[in-house]
Amino acid sequence: MTETVVSVEETMLIRPLGHPGDLGWVVQAHGELYASELAWDTSFEALVAKIVGDYAADHDPTREGAWIAELDGQRVGCVFCVREDDTTAKLRVLLVHPDARGHGAGNKLVSTCIEFARNAGYERMALWTVAGLASARKIYEAQGFELEEETPQHSFGHDVTGQLWARDL
């Protein structure tokens, strides 16, 4: 008797944020993931909630956007592009759930954000993160971001080193 080998190909989709539950998922996923992986307190979740709430309440769709990554129909990642000033876009709340790591979601989300910012007329893109997030750093470097500044600080219940990364568009 011969075995039939069936190949199951997973489908990664990057789509605009906007389905019911997307906003809440972004906040919940950040809160749960960063608490689990880094033991960050709820002040981080509150920061993400503020970013998401500000975006939801008042954003210019021609200059700001947000995207959800889905793997086989399930939300597994997100990124936001918001206005910092007339010439600089800010990449915010990049997240890739552990279930989707290794599928290219992070690079796809960041490249989508960069392309949107470039098409919206921004000249530069910046982002803030903390040292030690090796996977994110690899994505940022691969997408042309350079580390511009590091600042020791106490955030999210821990001593961390804040980092400012940026790139020209």
* pLDDT band at residue 87 under the 50/70/90 scheme: very high
Closest Cα to residue 77, out of 101, 112, 60?
101
pLDDT at residue 106 in the model: 95
pLDDT at 90 over 70: yes
Query: What average pLDDT does this structure show over 43-67?
Result: 97
Instruction: Compute the average pLDDT of residues 124-131.
Output: 96
Instruction: Over range 91-109, report the average pLDDT.
Output: 93
Q: How confident is the model at residue 4 (pLDDT cuts 50, 70, 90)?
A: low
- pLDDT averaged over every residue in the chain: 93
Contacts of 158 (CB under 8 A, 6+ apart): 38, 39, 40
Supply the pLDDT for residue 149: 97
Question: Per 3-state DSSP, what percentage of the chain is helix, strand, and coil (rounded to 5)?
Answer: 35, 35, 30
